[in-house]
Chains A and B, each alone.
Chain A
């Protein structure tokens, strides 16, 4: 729109825009710096890590930190566990959010407000505060030190239910569901064939949140996994850092391994991810 203005204003505006870009570029640099710094450090030798002034790019790229990290701990296995935990959790969160979100959005039944309120309110309580009672419950069913025990608390997500409810109540026309009912469709059919197909983006957003959460958990597996073979990436990494004197190079190498899959997924699907994540806020 600026282009339709007078020439003088045009050039003023142009200078302003260039200045804005300069600021944005600087900001962008700040945003990627931590990741970049992590990457280049992971490829430096110990001698190059501890020098002042620091060199940004390693003079001699080395993969020693990576091989060292994989020797010290089975990061391959950790990686696999992270993937299993995050994927199962994501699938379950998407399903439960769809069902519960739709029901909360489109059906009236006694206890609806109370139940939905409870779901939201408990989301505020920090997990660290009740993980011991949960642990004791899992002892009762013998789920300590198992995959199912690690994943259980992450099978549903209050935020996901909230998002789906918002989406369904505002974007799915009730008439469409009524039309289905007139045709004799059951409620499950409506859920699967009417609501679900129209909720792809919202579900994707929920899935992304679930995946980020599932990939990032570490306090719970720390408590419940008693076998290194059940450790996930984040836990392996923390355990790694906690050894007496942390080896920065190896630590960064492990961090890179933990971050890279998220980065790849993100860069491949960036537009969808950003748009879908954005959807989550609109109907707040």
Chain B
């Protein structure tokens, strides 16, 4: 990393980091400590293991990694952390993070970590997301934004020379890209949307279109309360877009293969997903000719993409709290960040990392590590009820996408109205509703 061109901000970060490392080095002395680390991302395990081995070599502390997938991970944490049977360090999204913070199960960061988070090592927006009532808690680990994967070979074949800039173009392109067999059965989707399944992911993907269209699931009133923000043109347009894609323009179908698996297999031409798909492609279809472009804009609107941070947190009930914070620092270094991306495909949250070696190797990372200028981020609202808000909307969407009666604008409007009313209802139940 010595060849890195060090900017002013990152130099400050570097200094802060070095100071921290020294401070932390004094605290961690016991070589017979074992730290338990839980992750909800099985893809991160090789990285955690590599970092654990390095850390054991440097400090003598043993590192024990447990990985379960996200849904199970969150369930385990919810049972284990309050009862003192949890890990020392864990990664989890901010929604659960804030629940732990409110319950006093994650303490404000010690000075060293607080300093690092506020330094130039992290984006301001990232630091803000990890600040509650003026204090910082935890460290951002992943900087996760979706972008649009597009299959270059498919585009070439269809006579298209580049990715669409707007959702309207995207639909037109997709129509040219979709393929059917002789019996009229779709064999390749022009774009792959999330149309089925269960859980908040369906609503999250709905937001990929809702937000650029100018809507949002909930609007803060500036006084700590919220109300729904999609019973409007944007909400109706976003739903209509999905319905058009499935029912009118027929560029996607719930029946065909979807998601990363479909893109890797060449069964879809466009997919909005996060950086980890690059890792999948590298592993399973190394010859796939693809590009990554920003999420399209809605008409002449701005490019917008969702920003999620997965955070690293230290359990307040950890018996080795100093060592836990020390390990958290260790795996948040610049070197560790590069390694994280190399080994897992996810993008590390530190902003002062030199990505040029990675980009030279895999140029498709560009849109994820340094998004195109002008792309706006909309963050995940940090509130405990968020999962329920998204999940309950997600329950309704798959049926709507295939419901032909919703081609009638009045029925579509009624559907959106009912869904939005439920969002308000959940906010009310959680004492979070306010206009």
Contacts and interface: CB of A to CB of B under 8 A. Distances in A.
Touch A–B, Cβ below 8 Å: yes
Nearest to B345: A244
Interface in B235-272: 259-261, 264-265
B260 A245 contact: yes
A82 B294 CA distance: 47
B318 to A, nearest CB: 14
A244 B43 contact: yes
Contacts of A155: none
Interface in A139-157: 139, 144-145
A8 interface: no
Contacts of A50: 265
B383 interface: no
Interface residue tally of chain A, by bracket? 10 to 19
B85 interface: yes
Contact of A144 (B66, B69, B85, B265): B85
B405 interface: no
Interface stretch (A33-41, A87-95, A219-227): A219-227
B69 A222 contact: no
B84 interface: yes
Contacts of B38: 226
B84 A226 contact: no
A244 B83 contact: no
A46 interface: yes
Nearest to B68: A239
Contacts of B259: 245
B64 interface: yes
Contacts of A15: none
Interface in A236-251: 238-239, 242-245
Contacts of A226: 36, 38, 66, 76, 80, 85, 87
A132 B79 contact: yes
A135 interface: yes
Contact of B66 (A227, A238, A242): A227
A84 to B, nearest CB: 20
B290 to A, nearest CB: 16
Contact of B284 (A46, A132, A139, A223): A46
Contacts of A238: 72
A239 B85 contact: no
Given A46-B284, A226-B36, A226-B85, A243 B76 contact: no
Contacts of B66: 226-228
Interface in B75-94: 75-76, 79-80, 83-85, 87
B69 A135 contact: no
A222 B83 contact: no
Contacts of A145: 85
A243 B43 contact: yes
Interface in B281-311: 284
A46 B43 CA distance: 20
B36 A243 contact: no
Contacts of B71: 242
A228 B85 CA distance: 15
Contacts of B75: 222-223
Contacts of B87: 226
B276 interface: yes
A245 B84 CA distance: 33
B42 interface: yes
Nearest to A238: B72
A175 to B, nearest CB: 53
A222 B80 contact: no
B280 interface: yes
Interface in A204-227: 222-223, 226-227
Interface in B55-77: 64, 66-72, 75-76
B69 A243 contact: yes
A222 B76 contact: yes
6 contacts: A135-B83, A222-B76, A223-B76, A228-B67, A239-B69, A242-B42
Interface of B: 36, 38, 42-43, 64, 66-72, 75-76, 79-80, 83-85, 87, 259-261, 264-265, 276, 280, 284
Given A144-B80, A227-B66, A244-B260, 14 more contacts: A135-B79, A135-B83, A136-B83, A139-B83, A144-B83, A144-B85, A222-B68, A226-B66, A228-B67, A239-B42, A242-B68, A243-B42, A243-B43, A243-B69
Interface of A: 46, 50, 132, 135-136, 139, 144-145, 222-223, 226-228, 238-239, 242-245
Closest 8 CB pairs of A and B: A242-B69, A144-B85, A139-B83, A243-B42, A245-B261, A245-B260, A135-B79, A239-B68
